[in-house]
Amino acid sequence: MTISDEMLRRASRLPTATLHEAFGKRGNLPSAIKPVSPNFRVCGRAVTVHGPGGDNVWIHRAIYEAQPGDVLVICTNSSYEHGYWGEIMSTAALERGLAGVVIDGGARDGALLAEFGFPVFSRGLCIKGTGKDLDAVACINKPVMIGDVVVTAGDLVVGDGDGVVAIPQAEVDDVLERAECREDDEASILERLRQGESTLAIYGWVLP
């Protein structure tokens, strides 16, 4: 099942924590992966990249394989201490109309990336440069494992200040319905709290 533009619009309005809960407390990428700038938010279909550690040639290639609105999701073979993404790549991705990038590794040019406004999610900032091996073995749009989550090309990827969640295409519609219901329920709970009720009473946790 392909994720429709309407599904993306709905998902873009929902917090990652709500989507994670609605997906049965699944889909959360490692908590170390956070936005380079706190106000970054990303939502789109995944284009997956599995590259050799310490090399970013295949990431450059993926920028031109991806379509407008896509999110690059990059596995670095657990080689985190490199700056895989920076100003040049953000400029290229912006020109291509991509929605953002999620890297299981480092980025650099942090202040410039924040100014650009192109959403970059990474394990942190790292100045260590990458190699450029044109013959390296790598792949685009094959399943990648980020932490304990397998991300497949076309999956929904949403990121905000709390982190990143990935949801398989086939489950997105159901997860969105549950997430929207959860948001409505929480709005009702917040109103009850403002009226003076306690969380213990609302959730039925009052001791006998």
DSSP single-letter state for residue 136? -
203 in any annotated domain? no
131 in any annotated domain? yes
* pTM to 2 decimal places: 0.94
Asked whether the beta carbons of 13 and 102 are under 8 A apart, the reply is no
Q: What would the mean pLDDT of 149-166 be, rounded to a whole number?
A: 98
DSSP single-letter state for residue 170? G
Question: With left for phi above 0 and alpha for psi between -120 and 50, is residue 163 left, alpha or beta?
Answer: left
Please give the residue range of the domain that contains residue 105.
5-190
94 in any annotated domain? yes
* Overall domain count for the chain: 1
DSSP single-letter state for residue 200? H
* Binding annotation: 86-89, 108-109
Q: Residue 60: how many CB atoms within 10 A of its CB?
A: 14
pLDDT at 137 over 90: no
Please state the separation of Cα 84 from the chain's center in Å: 16
133 in any annotated domain? yes
Residues 6+ apart with CB under 8 A from 50: 58, 75, 77, 138, 139, 140, 142, 144
* Binding annotation for substrate: 86-89, 108
- Burial class of residue 189, CB neighbours in 10 A (0-12, 13-18, 19+): middle
Q: pLDDT tens, 162-204?
A: 999 999 999 999 999 999 999 999 999 999 999 999 999 999 9
Q: pLDDT tens, 1-13?
A: 789 999 999 999 9
pLDDT at 27 over 80: yes
| Closest C-alpha among 105, 112, 63, 62 to residue 86 | 112
The reported pLDDT for the residue numbered 207 is 75
pLDDT at 68 over 80: yes
199 in any annotated domain? no
pLDDT at 58 over 90: yes
The reported pLDDT for the residue numbered 136 is 83
186 in any annotated domain? yes
pLDDT at 35 over 90: yes
Q: pLDDT tens, 87-123?
A: 999 999 999 999 999 999 999 999 999 998 999 999 9
CATH of the domain at 71: 3.50.30.40
208 in any annotated domain? no
- Alpha-carbon gap, residue 130 to 151, rounded angstroms: 24
* Binding annotation for Mg(2+): 109
